[in-house]
Structure 1
Amino acid sequence: MSTPAPAPAAKDSSTDAPFDPHGFPVDLVAAQRKAAELSERLRTLQAQLPWSREPHPGWPAEEERGRERPGRPESPGWTEQEAAEFDRLLEELRSSAAVVQTHPWWERCKAEGIEGPALVQARQALKRAEGAVLLARDDVDAAA
């Protein structure tokens, strides 16, 4: 009894296709989304905080020879809890951004000849990639 000949190996189509610097790995897209979420949380917190971290008396608005310098009201400063939350979010955002910036995908892009403006375009495209942004265009249109 003879054993059947093995079937020919399936052709790997990924080696035939040109490298796509916008074909981001799932973990890179997830890291970018986390960075975007942290950035939004930090921005939301900042909008609720007084303008000065430390108590400050502010200053009056001034106009000098047609130049206006807006004033600032007195600021009570941030509470210890507000400062701690801000610092925690900022550090988490820095760490998350470092994961995105140092991801092995960018080395792969360079190895494939993607450099200079093309690499910058790929990095910018990641910020708008499906799953990497908080809201999709359809979400914005539907909300409007």
Structure 2
Amino acid sequence: MFFNFPPRLRALQAQLHRVRAEHTALCATLPWSTEPLPGWTTQESRYSSRGDVPPSPGYTPEQQVLLDRLARRLRRLTGVVMTDAFWQSVEREKVVAARMALERAHEPTAG
């Protein structure tokens, strides 16, 4: 199914992908807890599926600021993309397919 997305909407979706990737990359570097907390061993907690967990130093103020900034950008961009006027032009039963197509619009086409 082909949808003729406006360039502005495609650009916003691409920006949303970039910000989501930044957020994901940052989260992968953060300690497991936002606040300093002791760790535990699997012997201490029979419910731990992660094995031994080292103590968490918590997030630094800089990490928290960056995480909050990226989360705000994600929410704002998601809202702008989801409420774009383009969606009013799509038949109701095709909206989900159109949204899925927009999410993949940045991917190179085969052929």
Structure 2 CA distance for partners of 1:137 and 1:73, relative to 1, 3 Å: farther
Deviation readout 1:13-45 (Å, 9 max, x if unpaired): xxxxxxx86110000000101110000001111
Looking at CA atoms only, which structure, 1 or 2, has the larger radius of gyration? 1
1:128 aligns with 2:108: no
Q: Which protein is richer in helix relative to its size?
A: 2
Bigger share in strand: 1
Kindly provide the amino acid, as one letter, of the partner of residue 103 in structure 2: K
Aligned to 1:90: 71
TM-score (norm 2): 0.85
The residue number in structure 1 matching 2:49 is 69
Match in the other structure for 2:28: 47
In structure 2, stretches of 5+ residues that fail to align are none
The count of residues paired between Structure 1 and Structure 2 equals 108
Q: State percent identity of aligned pairs.
A: 35
| Off by >3 Å, runs of 4+ in structure 1 | none
Q: RMSD value over aligned CA atoms? A: 2.2
Gaps of 5+ in 1: 1-19, 139-144
Report Cα offsets for 1:28-78 as digits up to 9, x if no partner.
0001011100000011111111111111112222586xx863342210001
Aligned-partner SS, 1:61? coil
